[in-house]
Structure 1
Amino acid sequence: MALSDRIPYQAIVDRPKLRLPDGKRVAVWVIVNVEEWRIENPMPRTVLPPPMGQPLLPDVPNWSWHEYGMRSGFWRQYQALVDRGIPASLAINGNVCASYPRVAGAALEAGWEFMGHGHLQGPMHRLDDQEGAIAKALDQIESFCGTRPRAWESPGLTETEETLDLLRKHGVEYVADWVIDDLPQDVATPFGRVTTLPYSVETNDIAVYALQGHRSDEFLTRGRDQFDRLYAEGATSPRVMAISVHPYITGVPHRIKYLEELLDYVGGHEGTQWMTASQLGDWYRTELTRVTGD
């Protein structure tokens, strides 16, 4: 069976009519991605091309580009979210709990939900022991937080044919890799169902800046337009919007104000319901049961 065959097609206009608490229109979840890039390895992403096209290790400038986010950028994003009382979902490489405990500790103290995001940053396809890496990441986070993650976002949204099964086997219920809809959707595995959470590559700062090279204000413009349409549609049936950020991208001085302005714009609508990953998944499952009995 092709992996895509496990995600049955459903038209948004045919989905059951769900309800958000207090008549809200849009569930919005903010994902802060914190990762460990090892300086001895090729960088997962680069901002400067290698001299004469020949990759060099250690890659000091591109490693430093990311490291700036963990040292400075994260704290701008952290303050923006904490000051506004917005519950965030922290997509975290498991080893970050050991290598950047100051970052992980601040998120834990703020009450953010920890999502698995691999052990170290790199595609799932490159792992020699995918199951072992998944278990290790979840164990590291559980040891640090005291609770096992219920949600997961694969590095780079990468999956193999067995990833969903292995995630569910190790206790993950909600996965953010499938950017297929504006509502969650269930996927069957031999270990029980996994629910996909609406994520985004369009309102993700990696796509806007690192890949597409837009001006600093594009994140605000695109995010506002995305929210406006979902908010209008949410008058008849709720929608979900994801805002996904990385400390080394929107945490820099010339971009942080646009993230802050987007949070203020979204939060300024009374029909907005802020949620974390598991809150979103639990809401969907409860509402689906209410409407369909499934």
Structure 2
Amino acid sequence: MSNDRPGRTVRERIPYDPIVGRRFKLPGKARVAVWTIVNVENWEPTGAMPRAVLPPPMGQPLLPDVPNWAWHEYGMRVGFWRFVDVLAARGLKASFAVNGSAIAAYPAACEAARAADWDFIGHGFVQGPMHRVADQAAAIRQTIDAIGAFTGKPVRGWESPGLTETDETVDLLAEAGIEYVADWVLDDQPVAIRTRAGEIVSVPYTVEINDVVLSAVQQQPSDAIFTRGRDQFDRLYQEGATVPRVMAISIHPYLTGVPHRIRYLEALYDHILAHDDVLMCTGAEILDIFRSQQDAGS
């Protein structure tokens, strides 16, 4: 579906539409579709760190910020491989939100994600907010080109660093051929966003079953991804008996990939997998389900 003009406000782009009464269905009468997003980012040690675990002594920042860069780097050297093992042991695939520059910075991790047939999605070229990017269109293209050259496949999805956008980000993404985004955390089902290049689909993402919020921002106990994730899933599963839902689990190697948290990710997956009528999938697969029903209804 195309539009003659872009939405001029956020509300025009994605009009209010309550979940009750919709016709969206999941294959096999599944109640919940669950997708995992593994985020791999390139934190340049020459710049300020996107997040910090250790404040500078006496409040005096210093570059390079070795302690906080190393905190993140542990995730890429060690934590990421725990994710690979946990997902492979359960026959699960992830959507792989990756900085375009991380393809060169962390080739072994990207090769492992490619070998596992994960769904590569753009996550900016370097880890920094979109509203600070001088030329968003160029950065989007650079990211898509880097990932596409590595995988040999089109890049279908996008998650902006920190979920940041400007007024035209979704227009630029749609113009670059991106089909779905994870930035608009406002629903339990996929919904269409109007752009000047037609519609782009918002696949339900999460800011709360997300280890950046749980572990880095709220500093919850190590088991929070299990306890909160279990409660999230249980409610969606109950509601999904009448109105199907989508649940996202967003994880970062330097947070959930550490030894004292990884067991709780395993426990969350095992809790979910103990239920019937659950579809474990990727963002691209959710997009295709939604699009197939759009096409059938048009």
Corresponding residue of 1:162: 168
Partner SS, residue 210 of structure 1: helix
**Structure 1 residue 11 corresponds to structure 2 residue 18:** yes
Alignment TM-score, normalising by the size of structure 1:
0.97
Deviations 1:105-146 (CA, angstroms, capped at 9, x unpaired) = 000001101000000100001111111000000000000000
Partner SS, residue 262 of structure 1: helix
Corresponding residue of 1:177: 183
Partner SS, residue 115 of structure 1: strand
Deviations 1:67-100 (CA, angstroms, capped at 9, x unpaired) = 0000000000111001111111000001111111
Corresponding residue of 1:225: 231
Query: In the alignment, is the contact (CA less than 8 A) between 1:25 and 1:235 conserved in 2?
Result: yes
Letter of the aligned partner of 2:28 in structure 1?
A: D
CA separation in 1, counterparts of 2:30 and 2:263? 26
Query: In the alignment, is the contact (CA less than 8 A) between 2:20 and 2:243 conserved in 1?
Result: no
Partner SS, residue 146 of structure 2: helix
**1:10 shift after superposition:** 1.0
- List alignment gaps of at least 5 residues for structure 1: none
Deviations 1:174-205 (CA, angstroms, capped at 9, x unpaired) = 00000000011101112121000100001001
Letter of the aligned partner of 1:77 in structure 2?
A: F
Corresponding residue of 2:9: 2
Partner SS, residue 36 of structure 2: strand
Equivalent of 1:112 in 86, 110, 118 = 118
CA separation in 2, counterparts of 1:191 and 1:2? 16
4+ long deviations beyond 4 Å: none
CA separation in 1, counterparts of 2:224 and 2:10? 34
Partner SS, residue 111 of structure 2: helix
Corresponding residue of 2:217: 211
Corresponding residue of 2:246: 240
Alignment TM-score, normalising by the size of structure 2:
0.96
CA separation in 2, counterparts of 1:168 and 1:17? 25
Q: In angstroms, what is the RMSD of aligned CA positions? A: 0.9
Query: In the alignment, is the contact (CA less than 8 A) between 1:203 and 1:243 conserved in 2?
Result: yes
What is the aligned length? 291
